[in-house]
A and B are shown apart, each in its own frame.
Chain A
Amino acid sequence: MMDSGFDRRDFLKVMGWGGAAVALTGCGNTSVEDGRETVVSYSEPADYVIPSIGVYYNSTCAQCDASCSINGRVREGRVLKLEGNPDSTINRGKMCGLGQAGVQHHYNPDRVRQPLLRKGNQGEAITWEKAYALIAEKMKGVSGSEVAFLSGSVSGHLKVLLGNYLDSIGCKNHFVYEAIAPGVVRAANKKSYGVEMPRFSINKAKVVLSFGADFLGSWVSPVHFSQQYAEFRKGVNGQRGVLIQVEPKMTLTGANADRWLAIRPGTEGVLALGIINALGVAKGDVAELVKDYDRARVSNETGVPAGQIDKIAALLKLRSPSLVLAGSAAEGYVHGSQNAAAINLLNHVLGNVGKTVEITESVPFPQMAPATGSTAALKSLSDGLAAGKFKVLFSYAANPVYTSPSAMKVRESMGKAGFKVAFAHYLDETALEADLVLPLDSALEDWGTHVPEYLATCAQINIQQPLMEKLHPETRGMGDILLALLKQNRADEYKGYEDYYAYMRNALLKNKSALGGAKIDDETFWNETLSRGIIKLEGPTTNLASKTSVAGINLPEAAEENADYPMQLIPAVSASLRDGRHTNQPWLQESPDPLTTIVWDSWVEIHPKKAAEMHIVEGDIIEVTSRNGSIKAQAYLFPGIHPEAVSIPLGRGHEAMGRYAKGFGVNPFQIMDAVYDKGTGELAMNETRVKISKTGQRVIVVKDEGAVGGKQMGKKIAVRVSTDEVDLSEEV
């Protein structure tokens, strides 16, 4: 549904006249001949700067929380291309498409360039001095408990500084929010294994049974898992690993699986217990728990054929060790914690804990460890705001107005805070609600340290350093802003630090010996650290729980049919768009979705059988209605989805955020029900019931594949033809 207001005919006309213009300038002077092109020289270049020859710097990718180490090529002072840093144990020199698009975050034309103060519906550009003075003024007479700080997940020295700032104003309300973080799984892992994120060794497993964990696409640390997966596929002693994926909507990982099983949404835990039952090796209370989950009942509830349950059990018995993963598809329910606990129990029963579910080290500086985000945090912030508890709200690296269900009424609650400050790269939906917007440096211009939540083989601190000079002089690093705010209250303590760089450098040098630099001088240590981009450490470990309690695993009875809303809405997390914070990077919009190959738009995935029942064909605009609203999008018939579910990808449908994001597609967050997991209070993302109806409109789906489709606005590209239909002698 791209509507550019520019049709093909106009385009050709312009191209024609453009050609004429080129021909005409051929007779006149070029812009060079007219002296309109400058070639500015350096004034005092460093010795290693040679025009047209790249210089490479190591840094850390900030596109998602996996914290991959990157290496950026800089030429003539401009960063051109990012690659993975081979030294990192997380990504080992590789990088994903999302990471590659990081340069488009940096060069994005819609970045905020000056502090903006709200004046009615307009933002008035002000100076930083005025902005800081305004914050100081607004904070006067406001007690710490009346201030709330909302942020995405933070780690490293930024987290330390943020903690110190909140401490300096006596504020304990730091809400760490991530829209699609595996919050329920973390809590379940903590209960089952003793740590929130153990190390999953996919490469050591002979069978991986994944309950909706899209570890190749978007789950936790996809680049790392993809490499493990490659080893897993090569196999140990030539025995190729087998991947079984169970999920209601096929993910990229599901598409790669040897066996993909469509499961009735929300019954993942039932299947896990059914497999334990079918294994027949459980004893004691576990056996007691699963005794009713015989294959007839499980098959009936989950929709997975009884024969498949037997096959999975037989395979798991035959090949050990295996690995069972509880992913985001299993956790997004009111009973999500139960699902995850049941799935984790399977790992215990199979004896995988300690073999493929391994202990992980943590960074020996607990204050730098990542503060992981959850949706429960947003709920309590939203409730607090609605109750009028907070007078001042800070928001950093989070866009709750876009990423929360409209039923949560975050936008309305935010209105109750008297003064809202957003630290932002772009004017996204949340920044638009703010009274003061402070522009941030891009991730390629800023300093920082990152501690990855998911550590691969050793504890590590990743260094983020600027790859080039600031594009816009009036943006600031988040660390610099926090330091300036800290100086408002603790001037004496922080006066020694001119900027965040000085603070970070000092903090790392102070702990030089603990960071492996005991024998070298400060300058050498610092330069080596920057050039490596990674500090690898020996860190403390936590032992894994060898047994888990089955107390509390209590899966609900199968939900009754709901005649009003017969379908389940599965919001899909795509590998490139995730929660929509990078939707304004056009490479991500234009790279085809791996399964449907659709670009620049949203779609509703629907099972062909269901579509036939409702007389829906591809491209029909269908309306998806929940109790909390409705959205309209093009239908895409997709056999990789449970017939009772529809799926809409997350990340599109922005109302703001610049030219590449605004107005493309729809936002399924909007129509989600605000229901929460009982165990953790996390938003139950997959719990929304919907009904669908045809609107009577139809469009041509813009996508890359398909014999019927394969069309781009009516123009054929890459039409798929089977090879036996091709007569090469005719083609040549």
Chain B
Amino acid sequence: MKNRAWYFIIPMIVLMSIGAFLPLMVVVNYSQNYIFAGSAATYVGLANFVEVLHDSQFRGAVSRQFIFTFMILLIEIPLGIIVALALPKKGFWVAPCLVLLGIPLLIPYNVVGIIWRLFTQSDIGVIPKIFEVLGGYYNVTLDSFDASSTILLLDVWHWTPLVVLLVYAGLQAIPDAYYQAAAIDGASSWRTFRFVTLPKLRSVLTLGILLRLMDSFKIYSEPLLLTGGGPGTATTYLSLFVARKAESYELGYASAASLIYFFIVLVMSYIAFQIITRIGKGGKVE
């Protein structure tokens, strides 16, 4: 090894192997066997994968997951930009605003789940009370629409601040001269946003979209604590589905499902990255 840099990354490679690569290989191994707890494994080749792909429950979880992630991005990214634009740029209020926005980010996933469970509890929760006062009906344990939209709302509450902070940092980095030039060029405020602000936010938005995309694919603790994946399977997202299968000792099936799940996340992230980095790089605009 001529390049001495290799010596420095060896510890990392070792750790990565123990922490990620070896478990992944174990999963790959499991996925090709029928395994029941306590009994020997039987090699079945790709049968588990075939079974997973034909399973309507798995397909349901995948489509639920895609809808969820799509909604997350559709709401959190624009909302994050709007809030970041509305934040004060300097002065006394900057620090209080940022701290308030940061609070949801500091709360662990499972605590968020519990907090929202209290919010939505049908006997003591504040949300059912509000609906009751307004003459509506709300029940997370019975109504699938209520359940899935509550998870969505919860995620928006929990993670929009991340987008806000990223965009806010990105906004601070845009030199004033760009806005001055746009003013001199007589650009309307929409055109200033469209052609100055948005292109300059490209890198932070790339980061924000990828983070939210990958993270929303991993959503687990919140639905587990809030709805337990129900009612029915209304909030059983991919990770919850895989965990359920593993809990019921269908290890081969769960491994195959989690590999497919892993592959989906990888492909989605790659596609998203390619799209964002290519949009509006020169070429004809009008």
Do the two shown chains form a genuine complex with each other? Answer: no
Task: Identify the A interface with B (CB < 8 A).
Answer: none
Task: Identify the B interface with A (CB < 8 A).
Answer: none
